Amino acid sequence: MEETNKFEIIIVGGSYAGLSAAMALGRSLRKVLVIDSGKPCNAQTPHSHNFLTQDGQAPGEIAAIAKGQVEKYDSVQFYDGLAVQGKKIDEGFEIFTQRGDTFTAKRIIFATGLKDIMPDIPGYSDCWGISILHCPYCHGYEVRHQKTAILANGEHANHYAELISHWTNDLVILTNGKSTLTSEQTQKIRSHGIDIIETEIQSLEHKKGKIQNVIFKDGSRVDITAIYSSPENVQHCNIPEQLGCEFAEEGLISVDMFQKTSVEGVYACGDNSGLRAVSIAVSSGSVAGIVANKDLISEGF
């Protein structure tokens, strides 16, 4: 293994959490490699909110500024590509990329995010992150008091109904098939003036990602400004699983308050192990970087 391929810490994922970890480590004089495939989950989202100093900025602009600041630290290097395999070795860990390159490090930080699985509804993926939203704290203010739908069923729909009703009274639930809400949930939801439509959805009409109408399979439609929905998602990277990291029931990487996984020397931060928000990703990345550095200091002192 060439010395140029050996690092103290490898960060897999170079978006908000990864860059935050890289900054903490660059300032800690650590030799770091950031491996990034350039596919952030919020690439289509026009604006990021609820992040002090960056409220309303385009996510890509925030990431570009962050990378430019991290690049000033000479000990941090970047690799454009996809990490596809990892294994434990005597010196720490070995990471293999899709292009056939191999790198080693004493510690690994996974800031790899999640991959959203879009439902099979024409127009959904075009509107995702623009007018189909997952978080009212990130985007609810911009669609406050507007005609809003919740695309969900069962307990998920019930939770969304309670939460989103704080941002708008003009609300409808689309279960896209037979409702699985309990009778008690249904009664409570309707008592707040929230309609429940069980008709299956045919497609979503939109203009450049901004939802206009929901078209149902029976030919009916409803005009909508925004939809709250949380599609299924999976880990963007399966290397933590290869290394034996434990996962929580919801599929997130299990970490403690210091962003440590169940595998010694492996840390995780950002969407892959916590709440999905840019501000939280940045915070958890900073923690992961600081703790990884402290662990190396303690190991060598």
Decide if 11 contacts 109 (C-beta within 8 A). Answer: yes
Same fold, 3-116+232-300 and 119-228: yes
Residue by residue, DSSP assigns 168-203 as -S-EEEE-SSS----HHHHHHHHHTT-EEE-SPEEE
pLDDT at 1: 52
Q: Which CATH class is domain 119-228?
A: alpha beta
Which stretches of the chain are DSSP H helices?
16-26, 59-70, 124-127, 136-139, 154-164, 183-191, 239-242, 278-300
Positive or negative, the Cα torsion across 233, 238, 244, 245?
A: negative
Domain ranges of the chain: 3-116+232-300, 119-228
Long-range CB contacts (< 8 A, 24+ apart) of 258-262?
258/287, 258/288, 258/291, 259/109, 259/284, 259/287, 259/288, 259/291, 260/291, 261/110
CATH architecture of 3-116+232-300: 3-Layer(bba) Sandwich (3.50)
57-80 pLDDT, tens per residue?
A: 998 999 999 999 999 999 999 999
Positive or negative, the Cα torsion across 133, 135, 138, 144?
A: positive
Decide if 157 contacts 181 (C-beta within 8 A). Answer: yes
Per-residue tens of pLDDT for the chain, all 301 residues: 556 799 999 999 999 999 999 999 999 999 999 999 988 878 788 888 888 888 889 989 999 999 999 999 999 999 999 999 999 999 999 999 999 999 999 999 999 999 999 999 999 999 999 999 999 999 999 999 999 999 999 999 999 999 999 999 999 999 999 999 999 999 999 999 999 999 999 999 999 999 999 999 999 999 999 999 999 999 999 999 999 999 998 899 999 999 999 999 999 999 999 999 999 999 999 999 999 999 999 998 9
216-235 pLDDT, tens per residue?
A: 999 999 999 999 999 999 99
